[in-house]
Structure 1
Amino acid sequence: MTTGPALPLILNFTLPLLLGNLLQQTYSLVDAAIVGQFLGIDALAGVGASSSVIFLILGFCNGCCCGFGIPVAQRFGAHDYADMRRYVANALRLAVGISVTVAIVTSIWCADILHAMRTPDNIFRDAYLYLLVTFIGIPCTFFYNLLSNIIRALGDSRTPFWFLLFSTVLNIALDLFCILTLGWGVLGAAVATVVSQGVSAALCFAYMHRHFEILRSTRDERRFRSRHARTLLAIGLPMGLQFSITAIGSIMLQSANNALGSACVAAFTAGVRIKMFVISPFESLGMAMATYTGHNYGAVKPERIWQGIKVAAGLMLGYALFAFVVLMAGSDLLARLFIDPSQSEILADTRLFLHVASYFLPVLGLLCILRYTIQGAGYTNLAMLSGVSEMIARTAVSLWAVPALGYIAVCFGDPTAWIAADLFLVPAFVYVYGRLKRMTPPEKPIGGR
């Protein structure tokens, strides 16, 4: 990532990431589509009632994994491979402690979380089962994402995609088997997803151990080092908290929507699933920029980081226009993947949600590019504060706009949060880039800011 034209480098790195993200979103789409078509609207609402809580917890775990990959990318860019392997070894140790602890705590508090979110009684049981199994499977999700981020930090975004492709096919097969053959209902959808991610993590680890010679470490390199652990936590925890803080606002928004009834919950669930699939390219482009920035930060080439920003912005705007056309023209067709055509009111609410989001896609694209670039340079605390901006905006919409205006305010919840985040991120990037332009090869170039 440190030499050659930025456009082909970023584009070639982004494409496998995009395919991988689309496959991950396929997990959610398949679960929701099969549940909605075969188990009914209440079951679909049960799956969706806890989606923001899942984003809160898994977002924290995935954010930590992304953060743990940044020192690896920086050391790889600096060609310090021995220190890179020390970071990998310590990241794996930290992953065990964090993922198991989070799984235990969240499983214990699962029912209380749903009660606090005012989950309707008619969908509470399905929501509880889906959420509980997801929490129990957190270590599977954590390790897959950590191993994938380590591989991507080495400049390889293709290998994780192939394991995720296998896992997606397995997830679809298990969904159908658990729901239609075993009759496990919503529980089967959750079990299928967790098992699929666990298999993907195991295969990814076995492949890394066998084929990535650069990661084969000595006993000394595998030893626990408090300095490396502190650096990983200083970068990873703020990134995890940034996802979680963002999700707190989403929980507030979903809680306000839950109070509107199961029909609004079902429309919101379908709309969010479709939206997350459509916006995956923005997230993929941002993740590519994190690795691109990390490599060039380690190589002390700030001018290439700005070049990458301009290339990423051009790609983002082109896709935003394409996605706008798709959502405006095809929202009804997409909604019918989850909702029976006879449910006209729910279909109309889903269409409204998607149309509102489509107008603000460039705002979200800019958010992803700037946030991940700032993270890739190691300034994870600033990225976390952008999550605070999102949380405040969603909370304000939930507390004041939704009670006054109803479902239409729910539709504007995410776009309002994206605008708030950009108002913080633009000046934050100006500050970070000013620091990057003045940087010289430091004695210890890695560390949280």
Structure 2
Amino acid sequence: MHDIRVIRTDPAAFDAAMARRGLSPVSSEILALDTQRRAAQTALQEKQARRNALAKEIGQGKRQGADTAALEAEATALRTDMDGLETAVSEFDAAIKRILEALPNVLDASVPDGPDETANVELKRVGEPRAFNFVPKQHFELGEALGMMDFATAAKLAGARFTVLRGKLARMERALAQFMLDFHTQERGYEETIVPSLVNEATAYGTAQLPKFEEDLFKTTDGRYLIPTAEVPLTNMVAGDIVAEKQLPIRVTSLTDCFRSEAGSAGRDTRGMLRQHQFRKVEMVCIAHPEKSWDEHEWMTRSAEMVLERLGLPYRRIVLCSGDTGFASTRTHDIEVWLPGQGTYREISSCSNCKDFQARRMNARFRGGSDGKAVSFVHTLNGSGLAVGRTLIAVMENYQQADGSITVPEALRPYLGGLEAIAAG
């Protein structure tokens, strides 16, 4: 959510910021409503002051035995006028909110301009893709040949975009999640947290899933939503709170199932398990001091990258351009892992700094300053650390052997009882 005071101060700058997002100027509409709202609020306050004065006059008149009928009639009329003004103020507030809540975050000045993912900028590349002496297969070819990745049964159970994993591949996915959680909690300072997979409307609103992206969510019959990512409940744990400055940064991580309708993705990644309605992800969230949020963004991005480094997987870091940056983010780093079966890099993590955009929606603040009394909005950050299913895909494709077996990365072997390879039979 945006601070309307910023728009009042420099509406041209706000329109320019929205133009970077491909949006038409909107400040004049917002400020016109704001002007009417403030006029109604001023009139309401004036009438309230007159009504308070009348109450004193009426009381004094009655004590003196005077006729107060005219004063009482004026007070009644004022009450009617005030009811109308209160309704008007509420309606103006709602109209302004409807506009503001549909507008994306202001992009950081460092974000490159561009219409879509073709304008994203590579920042670095780590690890050399393996040279194969055979044609590498895609994960679904490997998994089906092993008899451990079953899309037909998943389709029978739930439809398209679901997967059944069996045996050692199922165990490897579990091992990957455990490995990630151990790394983030033991080496990177995140606190492991178990959160609900269902959230209420206010929680989905707080991180900006609602109202704009409701079609991407699965909604239950009682008005709750299945989480698309643990970012939603993790970030909202400070909703409505004022935390002490000394508590910052708050770093939390969680392994959850994630549920996405994948609206608008028809025809994309229909084979395999790259794009699923249900998948597991280890999420990182940080609640940060505004002066430290960029440090936390780098810390979070490196946390995700280090998981890939421990697994020996080649990757690159991308900064998303203006046309590809998510609604709530001011700057996003995507981490893309090399998939030899596809012969390309694919996203495996997205780490975003949202600054105070979500905090304003959630009313999440901290108390600090030189006197220890000033209250300000926190900054919120979120990132995948990593998408577990996509990491499984990357391990399968990068560690595949000519006979269809998969070598287990050294870092995972302690989680798999020392298992060195996954093979059929």
Compute the TM-score of the two structures, normalised by the length of structure 2.
Answer: 0.28
Question: Which structure has the greater CA radius of gyration?
Answer: 2
